[in-house]
Structures are given as structure tokens and as C-alpha cells.
Amino acid sequence: MTETAPAPKSPLPRKRAALFDMDRTLIRRETVSLYVRYQREIGEASLLDLVKTLYWVAQYTLGLLDAERVVDRILQSLRGTSEAALTARCNAWFASHVEQHISDEGRQAVRRHQEAGDVCAIVTAATSYTTWPLAHRLNIPHVVATVLEVDPAGHFTGRPVRPLCYGEGKVERARALAEAHGFRLEEATFYSDSISDLPLLSLVAEPVAVNPDPRLRRIAQRRGWPIVRW
């Protein structure tokens, strides 16, 4: 009796991923100004603080923001604050000021990728403290964000852990997620509104410009990337 060699096993399909920016993408507004408005309401920020924030947001939209300098300046105000206190504050802020601005189209896009079995993650320049409440609302299991240094007692030192999740730093942090969860950035989808995300948008297989700023819109049109309004 002749034995037949077993048929070779088909390779398992490679995981794919869907990465989502937060501000002006999954959230229709930029969250930093919403946070400063919340701080004003609870007596922790002045009108001048809000004006400065809106100026930085305008620079960010135009792709002119010196992110390293601005982050260093902002984080000094957190020095000595407990991580637990900021987490509780961000949860309260999200419920009162942000949740109403979650994009319905963004929810639907996340759901489509989840149903397709894709690894879903929010990849944002914001901190994890302002991002996790959104991730929990949308059942997104992974957050890639700017990391803040915390001392052994659980208080912020006023310094970020570099690289910031911004520009090329966002690529570096997203690649660490890809390596940890078995997908390739070069085969992923990334949704973003900002020219600052051009390094990651240029790397992935499916870049999608969502509510793009003027510079990103021009590049997306030139390169034939999808442009959507959420």
C-alpha cells in the first residue's frame, strides 16, 4: 500500500491592522482646546491659556508647530500631579466635553475593521490619559500615544518619554505595536487629518485622509489617496 504524503498546510493569513488618529478624525474636534475649556470651567486655566492653546492648534493645522518645545512647556504644569488624579480628571472631562464629538462615520469605520478581524489601534500625538476613554467607548484594545514620565511615587516629572508620538516618532511607536502584535505597518490602513502624520501615511498600504488640513489635502489629491469627510 502506497502512503500519500500529507498535503502541505496553508500558511496562516497575516494579520492586518487599522490605525486611527484621534483629533479631527475619530473626534470631530481637537481635544486639547476642549481640555483647556474644561480647565477654565473648574478654575485651573485662564483665558490667556485658552488663547495660547488655540494659537498652538492653528500652528499644528498649518504644520508649523514646534511640538518638542510646546510639549515641554505644557508638561511643566503637570509636574508633581499624581497619575491617578489626571486619569480621573480625563475620564470626567471626556464624558462631559468630548464624547458628544465622536464621529459617527469613525465609529462605523472602526466597526468594519473589527468585523474584518483587523487589529485596531488609536495612534495619536495626545497622551494615553486623554485617549483611553475614547478607546474604551469604541472597544479599541490598543493605544499608541505620547508617554509621560512618572516617578516611583506615581507623580509626573514634567518630562515626556521620547520619542513623542508625533511625526517620525509616531512611526517608531506604531512599529513597536506592529512587532508586538504580528502585523506590518506596510500592510496597514491609517486614517488621519494632519500633515504631521505624513511619515506614517506614506508608509502604510492604505492611507486615508480624513477631514484633511489644507497641506494634507493637496498631497492626498496628488497621490490619489482617498479623502473622506467624517
Among the listed residues 23, 118, 193, 213, the single catalytic one is: 23
Say how far apart CA 194 and CA 1 lie, in whole Å: 67
Q: How many residues does the chain have?
A: 230
* Distance, C-alpha 70 to centroid of its chain: 18
Quick check: is 23 catalytic? Answer: yes
Q: Residue 165 carries which DSSP code?
A: S
Among the listed residues 21, 118, 197, 213, the single catalytic one is: 21
Say how far apart CA 95 and CA 108 lie, in whole Å: 20
Backbone phi and psi for residue 208, each to the nearest 5 degrees, phi listed first: -130, 125
Say how far apart CA 89 and CA 181 lie, in whole Å: 30
HSE (side-chain half, CA atoms, 13 Å) at 71: 20
Based on DSSP, count helices (H) and strands (E) in the chain, helices before strands.
9, 7
**CA 37, 38, 40, 46 torsion-angle sign:** negative
Quick check: is 104 catalytic? Answer: no
Q: So which residues are the catalytic ones?
A: 21, 23
